[in-house]
Amino acid sequence: MIAAIDPGSEKTGVAVLGGDGSLAEKKIIPTGELEAYLTGAYAQYRFTHIVMGDGTNHKRLQPVAEEWIRRQAPAVTFSLVDEKNTTVEGRAMYFKYTPRRGWRRFVPLSLQYPPEPVDDFVAWIIGLRYIHRQGGIE
């Protein structure tokens, strides 16, 4: 299992993925709650790796994740993943997995913007990128 993080200044997207890219959990949390989230997710999923996007705010959250590993789970490894274009991909993934309702069903997707943050989908994409980089799923 892999814990993926899309670091942000106010909110952070997190996702837990299986080695095949399957999604176990995704959510958006307040950035200050990352340590508590990792503790709870680790207790439930026993992930072996944490991956974090190298974009916005990673310099602030990388030490938080590394310190959590040192104190709570020394066997867990850490990697940064290129985060370029993940927000655009996250928007597309949002519409793929979130059914459109009401008037949104009639408007082309190219003209729509998700009505809520997509940081959790971006975290999932970061995890998938890591798996692909490691020679995992195609």
As to burial, measured by CB atoms within 10 angstroms (0-12 exposed, 13-18 middle, 19+ buried), residue 76 is buried
User: What global pTM score does this model have?
Assistant: 0.90
Distance CA 98, CA 94 (A): 6
Mind listing the domains of the chain with CATH numbers?
2-133 (3.30.420.140)
User: Kindly report the CA angle at 104 between 100 and 106, in degrees rounded to 5?
Assistant: 110
Tokens 């003209």 label which residue?
A: 111
Mean pLDDT by 10 residues, the chain (138 residues): 96 96 96 96 97 91 95 96 92 88 82 89 96 75
